[in-house]
Structure 1
Amino acid sequence: MQEKYTTIFDTSANPAPLGLMGFGMTTVLLNLHNIGLFELSSMILAMGICYGGLAQVIVGIMEWKKGNTFGTLAFTSYGLFWLSLVVILTLPKLGLGNAPSPLEMAFYLGLWGLFTLGMFFGTFKTNRALQFVFGTLTILFLLLATGDITGNLTVTRVAGLVGIICGSSAIYTGFAEVLNETYQKTVLPIFPVTKKP
């Protein structure tokens, strides 16, 4: 008896633009605060929970379903980063634990910087747009950690500028993926890495 095989094609949508937008828009808003434009308010915290946090975790699960290990790790991790940051900021206000010291925050942000550096190496075979997002994000985390450990407001302001650039590049990459797919041509270039023969 001859065996029969069924081939299943994945026709689900690309979830990455949603994750990039959630990450990018939340990052821009937080770093507008870091440059001193406005105070840390419930607006940023809400974005951290909903769009930066939950949306990216959902995207990470969708990337897992598509077999994308990099996307799974990246989106789920950064979604949980945003959720953990909001928890760190709000628990002390609820009387649940002490606020972290600058040294503790420096270690927290520094570890995320090291994680992002590792993820940056994972972008080398993707495209230049994604490389720019992860490269600037690595610099952002390390600057924020330095600003916390030194108490130097200038470093935090510079980190804010880097963060706005990083978040904007993620928004650009998200829009590029949507528009290029929608119009079936390169509307916004992401500069794919060309494979050597």
Structure 2
Amino acid sequence: MERSIKDTTANPAPLGLLGFGTTTLLLNLHNAGLFGLNDMILMMGLFYGGFAQIIAGIQENKKGNTFGATAFTSYGAFWWTLVGIWVLNKAEYLAADSVALGSYMFVWGLVTFIFFIGTLNGATIGKIVFGTLTILFILLGFHFVLESALFGKLAGFVGIICGSSAIYEAAGLILNEKYGKQILPL
């Protein structure tokens, strides 16, 4: 007799997308010049951007979703490393210079571009999230390497679109499932 196992676990993607989207949105409101870097952004980076995304990545792994597991876990770790860099730089302990910070952003741009390619056979909103995130990391790389306020501000506006798109995708996944029909197109 063959057994069938039904997966009744919830979709972890909305949690990961909200952790990513809200933290990205807040950081890029800062990058756009609306307010300074502060403890609110650091705490969001540690807990919602970091911890919640890693939980979502582990849950995606249990569901057999390599893309979701790798993306959420990677960006959760990104937030933890970014907060660590900010804290160590503030303490002037092994402080990264502008070329090192730019290189960090360019490397994350490369990682993100790989994920972007992975979205090309999926929903439009995923392409928007990862496409704008790739551009965001490239702009941040130039911002740091060239020490250019203009690239930083441009990155802020692209990041606002990116974070908002991730929040929209999460809302679509939650509401479409909850109502059993398409409330928000993805």
Equivalent residue number for residue 193 of structure 1: none
Task: Output aligned runs, 1:10-159, within 5 Å.
Answer: 10-94=7-91, 97-159=93-155
Q: Secondary structure at the match of 1:111?
A: helix
The amino acid across from 2:178 in the alignment is T
- In structure 2, C-alpha distance between the alignment counterparts of 1:168 and 1:102, rounded to whole Å: 28
The amino acid across from 2:19 in the alignment is G
RMSD over aligned Cα, in angstroms? 0.9
Higher helix share: 2
Match for 2:172 among 168, 173, 176? 176
How far the C-alpha of 1:47 sits from its partner, in A, is: 0.1
Task: Encode CA deviations 1:21-41: one digit per residue, 9 max, x unaligned.
Answer: 000000010011111111111
Identity %: 54
Task: Encode CA deviations 1:86-139: one digit per residue, 9 max, x unaligned.
Answer: 0111124346x3221000001100000000001001011220001100000000
The amino acid across from 2:157 in the alignment is L
- In structure 1, C-alpha distance between the alignment counterparts of 2:173 and 2:158, rounded to whole Å: 23
Any stretches of 5+ residues in structure 2 without a counterpart? none
The higher radius of gyration belongs to: 1
- In structure 1, C-alpha distance between the alignment counterparts of 2:112 and 2:67, rounded to whole Å: 12
Query: TM-score if structure 1 supplies the norm length?
Result: 0.92
Any stretches of 5+ residues in structure 1 without a counterpart? 191-197
1:164 has 2:160 as partner: yes
The amino acid across from 1:159 in the alignment is A
Task: Encode CA deviations 1:35-92: one digit per residue, 9 max, x unaligned.
Answer: 1111111000000000000000000000000000000000000000000000111124
The amino acid across from 1:69 in the alignment is T
The amino acid across from 1:126 in the alignment is G
Q: Secondary structure at the match of 1:91?
A: helix
